[in-house]
Structure 1
């Protein structure tokens, strides 16, 4: 198992802090959507709260990147003012585990688009199960809960998976990730195109 270097730890920490702020910023958006659509409103954009796990794992490509980045982001979010409090850290850990499990299933060797989307969906599954018991979803109709679950899966795939990939690829193209696995992959692809 490859060891983490200081550069990877710092980048993961920076990403986690940045996305902790993003996560807080999206809470009002979720509340507006809940006002229009009911509880399913949050599920429509829930993938935003998994995105750092996908981005960190895709850039760093080491065991634990998804889990640790999501846990750190949740911890920072609590420290800067999320009203949920310390229980949010547990939620972050659970979301990170969902993504990490998908990467672990590939032995942290596959970071294709479909795997990134599945990792986003993995976070959707673990977070939904956690939310089901914590959020009182059992009081809702089976059809509505199913719709919430499907919306969260789609959000995990599209927002966390695809948007996370797009953000990471955009960063890699600038050259700032040249010393990371993703940056090296992008550079190798560019060299193939030239030759």
Structure 2
């Protein structure tokens, strides 16, 4: 009799509808800067759910890439499969963490009149989805905002460095250019 109730309850949990939600933020950073942040899988310092990945710096994600990441919430390594990449628009990945849960995440970047909108969509399926969703939802709600903030910080850092660099003296540069051209013609 106990086996009947277990199978009945297990069957109902498997047929749960997927849990899905999209979180958005608007950033003053350009689409290019935000896209670089999304595509830099080696640097997830801004991500509230991930600590690190095993992706080498400079690797550009392409469909079919499988890499590992370490979760901030649980001391486990998760595998991430890149499903779809539309340059400067969309990155879709499937997260393979535990049996009984399937998670699909989509990052979307688009230009609007008010700035650049970044969207973070999460879809969970499986009998563990209600439990996992209750644990990760507060962190997932912050991903888009943290990504936008990190991109804005990068822009501010670049502007600060640009202001600190000495500007070349235009007159001196012109004289050197004339001398170099004259030397090339004369020699």
Q: Same fold judged by TM-score > 0.5?
A: no
Bigger CA radius of gyration: 2
**Category of TM-score, reference length = shorter chain:** 0.3 to 0.5
Point out the structure with the larger helix share: 1
TM-score (norm 2): 0.36
